[in-house]
Amino acid sequence: MPLIPFGEWLPDVAALGSPGALRAANCFPGPTGYKPAKSLQVTTNALAARARGAISAKDKAGTVYQFAGAASKLYQLVDQTWTDVSKSGGYAAGTEEIWDFVRWKNKIIATDYTDAIQQIEMAAALFSDLTTDFKARRLAVVRDFVVAGNTNDATDGAVPNRVRWSAFNDDTDWTVSAATQSDYQDLHSGGGVQRILGGEYGVVLSDRSVRRMTYVGSPAVFQFDEVLPDFGLLSPSAATRLADIIYFASPHGFVALEGGTRSALIGAGKVDKFFLNDLDYSNLHRISSAVDAASGRVLWAYPGQGSADGLPNRILVYDRGLRKWSLLEIEVDLLWHSLGASTTLEGLDAISASLDALASSLDSPRWAGGAPVLGGFNSAFKSGYFDGSALAAEIGTGEMELAPGRRAILRAARLAVDGGTATISTGTRNKQEDATVFSPAISARDSGVCPMRSTARYHRFRVGISGEWNDAVGLWIEPEDVSAAGRR
């Protein structure tokens, strides 16, 4: 029998005859099979409470700055220590509110809706109020404007569907004026603004609609074109950008939006059903997403079944180049798109007692100033990068008839796994209405053969991999190791 490959993860496809994997946990999709995924290696102190948002940015001199927000404080990372840089009196973010950060010139601007919009020059000591004219849930930078969404002011009160922008090239001036081009637009449909992603154009993701925001000059200033009616954003932090493509989780599944106009349903028939059935809808505000620009992967952390108090315990991974998915079953409080901070050899003393004890090699992007790297906060409110030891992976094949039309006797299999320590468990049943029963996991002999003894009409296989490994491609079953059972 030829190699039985570990196909792409397709949890939404029926098990029998599935061309893909029924399970692909704690690994990444590869060109053939799967690659190892690394654990989150934390290197900082803890915030006072869970992170509600974070940002990395370079100033004009190229120095990397990193900021994060919790319910009552804003922090800056200095020599692996999260340092309080809040304004006097701190903050009082609501239970389900997040901190939304943007970089504007040499400044970081942040909002949590409850408090006044905040600002800090990257080299300054503390945050301060940017404006007290209004509050906002969302921020973005579109061309030469700072843009706010889902606003609240003394005149109109809470206007969830409002998009408001500053004066041209002036983040401090929000007075509506034809001369400065500062203005606002109330969107006529689609519900409240969940997220705005900026650039040369803006993309406004609402509860039930997606619009492109295009600069057209006076008098309108911006034109809003609905590009995806009825496809909104599931949660404020469930959208992220990689190059010119925005990836987001909608109430219908996962969507890729290219150029603000062309959409693709990237999870349909693959993972959408799995995700929407697994999701803890009472804790949607805990979803976070980020890109790993170096690998071309997009990740969503979310609270799934069995999560503790809404703590995200799953990460869905989409490889945009391969167009394949996998799942990480780990707890992480927040994902964020970080930049490696320049670290001297002397600075490493605060992280590790010796170079040999470092979890990451010295050529890792985490030590290079400005290199993009995937960051995260753990459940203890500490941050780090996903470059620790390899996670223990588990890959499950589809279900098959080894002797078509007959029950099959299976005696052995061989694993196509490069490196690490692998085991295999056999799942069997005789009728489709029966529950699948898995055998205890067994290891390979020195010959590479995994001896087994099972008799059933339907077989599937689950392979566990631990230690440091390189590739998991599939498994072999030799013709002499399988035969049809006698009829009954």
- Tens of pLDDT, residue by residue over 252-279, are 999 999 999 999 999 999 999 999 999 9
Is 140 buried (19+), middle (13-18) or exposed (0-12) by CB count in 10 A?
Answer: buried
Q: What's the pLDDT score for residue 351?
A: 54
Q: CA-CA distance, 313 to 299, in Å (whole number)?
A: 13
Q: At residue 486, does pLDDT exceed 60? A: yes
The domain spans of the chain are 4-37+392-484, 41-132+237-385
Q: Which of 439, 443, 449, 447 is nearest to 466 (CA)?
A: 443
Q: Which two tokens stand for residue 244?
A: 């010119």
Q: Which two tokens stand for residue 353?
A: 């007692």
Can you give the C-alpha Rg of the chain in angstroms?
Answer: 25
Q: At residue 436, does pLDDT exceed 90? A: yes
User: Are 196 and 140 in contact, with CB atoms under 8 Å apart?
Assistant: yes
User: Are 414 and 448 in contact, with CB atoms under 8 Å apart?
Assistant: yes
- The mean pLDDT of 290-310, rounded to a whole number, is 97
- The mean pLDDT of 241-254, rounded to a whole number, is 96
> Which secondary structure element, helix H or strand E, spans residue 94, and what is its range?
none
User: Are 427 and 461 in contact, with CB atoms under 8 Å apart?
Assistant: yes
Q: At residue 348, does pLDDT exceed 90? A: no
DSSP 3-state of 253: strand
User: Are 384 and 378 in contact, with CB atoms under 8 Å apart?
Assistant: yes
Considering 86-90, 344-348, 355-359, 476-480, the range whose residues carry the highest mean pLDDT is 86-90
- 99: CB partners within 8 A, 6+ apart: 52, 53, 54, 68, 69, 74, 93, 110, 111, 112
DSSP 3-state of 258: strand
Q: At residue 366, does pLDDT exceed 60? A: no
Residue that is written with structure tokens 């989150």 in the block:
40
Q: At residue 365, does pLDDT exceed 60? A: no
Q: Which two tokens stand for residue 390?
A: 């390899």
Q: CA-CA distance, 286 to 237, in Å (whole number)?
A: 8
What confidence tier does 465 reach under pLDDT thresholds 50, 70, 90?
A: very high
Query: What's this model's pTM, rounded to 2 decimal places?
Result: 0.93
- 404: CB partners within 8 A, 6+ apart: none
DSSP H helices, 207-299, are 272-278
* Residue 26 phi, psi (nearest 5): 60, 40
Q: At residue 342, does pLDDT exceed 70? A: no
Q: At residue 221, does pLDDT exceed 70? A: yes
Q: What's the pLDDT score for residue 360?
A: 53
359 vs 78, residue with greater confidence: 78
Q: What is the CATH number of domain 4-37+392-484?
A: 2.60.120
- The mean pLDDT of 420-424, rounded to a whole number, is 97
Q: How far apart are the first and last CA of the chain?
A: 25
User: Are 206 and 213 in contact, with CB atoms under 8 Å apart?
Assistant: no
DSSP 3-state of 276: helix
181 vs 340, residue with greater confidence: 181
Q: Produce one character per residue of 424-439: b if its CB has 16 or more CB atoms within 10 Å, e if not.
A: bbbbbbeeeeeebeee
Q: What is the 8-class DSSP label of residue 132? A: S
Q: CA-CA distance, 327 to 267, in Å (whole number)?
A: 13
- The mean pLDDT of 185-190, rounded to a whole number, is 96
Q: What is the 8-class DSSP label of residue 226? A: E
Q: What's the pLDDT score for residue 245?
A: 97
Q: What's the pLDDT score for residue 419?
A: 96
Q: What is the 8-class DSSP label of residue 174? A: -
Q: What is the separation of C-alpha 189 from the centre of its chain, rounded to a whole number of angstroms?
A: 28
Q: What is the separation of C-alpha 269 from the centre of its chain, rounded to a whole number of angstroms?
A: 20
User: Are 56 and 39 in contact, with CB atoms under 8 Å apart?
Assistant: no
What confidence tier does 423 reach under pLDDT thresholds 50, 70, 90?
A: very high
Residue 92 neighbours by CB distance under 10 Å: 11
The domain at 41-132+237-385 falls in which architecture? Answer: 5 Propeller (2.115)
Q: What is the separation of C-alpha 229 from the centre of its chain, rounded to a whole number of angstroms?
A: 24
Q: What's the pLDDT score for residue 487?
A: 62
> Which secondary structure element, helix H or strand E, spans residue 279, and what is its range?
none
Q: CA-CA distance, 151 to 196, in Å (whole number)?
A: 13
Minimum mean pLDDT range among 74-88, 314-328, 345-359, 371-385: 345-359
Q: CA-CA distance, 440 to 34, in Å (whole number)?
A: 23
Q: What's the pLDDT score for residue 97?
A: 98
The percentage of the chain sitting over the pLDDT mark of 90, rounded to a whole number, equals 91
- The mean of the pLDDT values for the chain is 94
Q: At residue 334, does pLDDT exceed 80? A: yes
